[in-house]
Structure 1
Amino acid sequence: MTRIAACQLAPVPDGLAANAELTADAVREALAQGADVVILPQLVTTGGVLEDAEQARAVAVASGHGVFAAWAAACTARQGSVVVGGFCEAGDDGQLYNSAAVVDATGLRAVYRCAHLWDRERVVFAAGSAPPPVVDTAHGRIGVLVNYDLRFPEWTRTAALAGADLLAVPVAWPAAQPGEGGGPDGQLVAAATARLERVAVACADRSGPGWTAGSCIVSASGQLLAAAGPGRSAAWADVDPEASRDKLVAGSSDLWLDRRPELYDRLTAPRSTSG
């Protein structure tokens, strides 16, 4: 079994140094309590909402930044442990990206750039174009997405087909508006994704005013295993990577073997804005 901690934090707006310390403390605390995989929220190194590129550049970091070295150092305390966390990336191409890093005791394993940008995020960030990485770890194969990516089944299926046992998703879910119903909407999306792909899903959300505080962990069968609740906390659950590798849903019905890709060409057709 793999023990997951989806850590729910309230990063300081524009406080890169403070947030680096906050995240390192959270990782150390989770690992000390027995976590194998620690997930941190979207853009956790920045805090707040980035309104423009100028503000974002002030808190953007490259892949060699010390915050990742601190996460890696924390991982030395627990063999095989892994951290997945969101950050504002200063790309070597001069662009800014809404990214997530995968780190273990050896250092930075992968960086993923969010491909689907939410609302005004596209004013600040360039969209990534590489598929979600699936990283082999001591605790299974971890696929990484960011926030809005979770709402695109083509993208979650891409990670699942690449062999992900767990989808680790740094998120920042805005608080629900009046009339949208009870319960974090994002948790419903996470549960639906898990059930459709037969893969465990873990989302780490922000806490504080304006955020849903909906951190959660869902099993490969779509069962909500844990939810963090309000405030700084964490969702904790044990998941079995093998359960995500079994795509048999009933009798001889197998989600992977029963796929018919020859019928799915419209999924890759150019998007249209017409009716």
Structure 2
Amino acid sequence: MTWSLRVAATSPKIRLGEVASNVERIRAALESAVADDAELIVLPELATSGYVFTERGEAAKASIARDDPAWADLASALVPGVTAVVGYAERAGQHLYNTAAVFTRDRRIGDYRKSHLWGAEALLFESGDSAGAIFEVPFGRLAVAICYDNEFPEVPRRLALCGADMLALPVNWPRVPRPDGERPPETIQAMAAARSSRLATVIADRSGTERGVEWTEGTAIINDDGWLAAVPDAYGCAVATLAFRARGDKSLPPHNDLFGDRRPHLY
């Protein structure tokens, strides 16, 4: 049976280290996406804290725990049936993680800790112990990975093989040189991964600059054929209604199947 889902990727203005005001802007972004009838809302990596920390102590000051009161405030911006994915700097005892929270209005569904740390992140955070994760959410099975995770083809493929219906991807993509007219390389990689596994992907990226780092502004919604379904409007929000085949359908009529045709023993 076919089905559809309205999704949003939104990127409010995030200020480095300003957790309270970032939470306020995240809440406003959630409320706006809810008003646009989104059933899944994805915000960027480290949205509550900002990204370009110079040392671990600075990151620790901007970290929050899973039971911080801010989460109840953000959850209250949702309506029943809506799922949000928000990146944050997680404080867990003496440990720090680059984490994405998955929650609805009524419950905390789970948290994913980034496993592939990029550059100086390894000086700030511990690595998570899974390469992406899948959560049971109101609309089905949601995969979550963070930024650099998705540049390892094995990650989105593994999540798709494990039965994910779609992928939420909070990111902070620093802009890199590219030929005129070309899309960001990270977007191209995400489009290819979505197409090869028929895994729709919702990407929330930063905009502007932070401590001299220019962000790619790669927020996008990619459908399960690998095509861009939406890019941000003037307010930094991309919204689309995605249509899906029957759950688990990887067929390529009349003769092929994306997963059925795999030959792992030859790879």
TM-score (norm 1): 0.89
Partner of residue 44, structure 2: 41
Cα deviation digits, residues 102-137 of structure 1 (max 9, x gap): 011222111001111111111111111124221222
Cα deviation digits, residues 58-92 of structure 1 (max 9, x gap): 011111112221222112x3x31000011111124
Deviation at 1:3, TM superposition (A): 0.6
User: Structure 1: which 5+ runs fail to align?
Assistant: 265-275
Cα deviation digits, residues 141-160 of structure 1 (max 9, x gap): 21000000111111111211
Q: Report if aligned partners of 2:206, 2:216 keep a CA contact under 8 Å in 1.
A: yes
Partner of residue 132, structure 1: 132
Do structure 1's residue 224 and structure 2's residue 228 form an aligned pair? yes
Partner of residue 108, structure 2: 108
SS of 2:245's equivalent in the other structure is: helix
CA distance in 2, matches of 1:186, 1:178: 11
Deviation at 1:51, TM superposition (A): 2.0
CA distance in 2, matches of 1:180, 1:47: 29
CA distance in 2, matches of 1:36, 1:82: 6
Paired AA for residue 120 in structure 2:
R
Q: Report if aligned partners of 1:9, 1:205 keep a CA contact under 8 Å in 2.
A: no
Q: Report if aligned partners of 2:40, 2:84 keep a CA contact under 8 Å in 1.
A: yes
Identity score, percent: 35
Partner of residue 172, structure 1: 172
Deviation at 1:180, TM superposition (A): 7.8
Deviation at 1:183, TM superposition (A): 2.4
What RMSD, in angstroms, separates the aligned Cα atoms of the two structures? 1.8
CA distance in 1, matches of 2:26, 2:146: 17
CA distance in 2, matches of 1:243, 1:196: 17
Q: Report if aligned partners of 1:11, 1:48 keep a CA contact under 8 Å in 2.
A: no
Cα deviation digits, residues 211-257 of structure 1 (max 9, x gap): 1111000111111111116x641111111343663211242321222
Summarize the alignment of residues 121-270 of structure 1 with structure 2, pairs less than 5 Å apart: 121-177=121-177, 182-209=182-209, 210-228=214-232, 232-242=235-245, 245-264=248-267
SS of 1:157's equivalent in the other structure is: helix
Paired AA for residue 160 in structure 1:
A
CA distance in 2, matches of 1:226, 1:104: 23
CA distance in 2, matches of 1:216, 1:101: 20
Do structure 1's residue 74 and structure 2's residue 74 form an aligned pair? no
Partner of residue 90, structure 1: 91
Cα deviation digits, residues 19-66 of structure 1 (max 9, x gap): 111111110111012111100000000124122111110011111112
CA distance in 1, matches of 2:99, 2:247: 25
CA distance in 2, matches of 1:180, 1:58: 40
Do structure 1's residue 12 and structure 2's residue 21 form an aligned pair? no
Q: Report if aligned partners of 1:144, 1:169 keep a CA contact under 8 Å in 2.
A: yes
Q: Report if aligned partners of 2:146, 2:171 keep a CA contact under 8 Å in 1.
A: yes
CA distance in 1, matches of 2:196, 2:102: 25
Q: Report if aligned partners of 1:140, 1:241 keep a CA contact under 8 Å in 2.
A: no
Deviation at 1:95, TM superposition (A): 1.7
Partner of residue 272, structure 1: none
Change over 3 Å in CA distance of 1:10–1:185 after alignment to 2: farther
Residue correspondences, number: 260
User: Structure 2: which 5+ runs fail to align?
Assistant: none
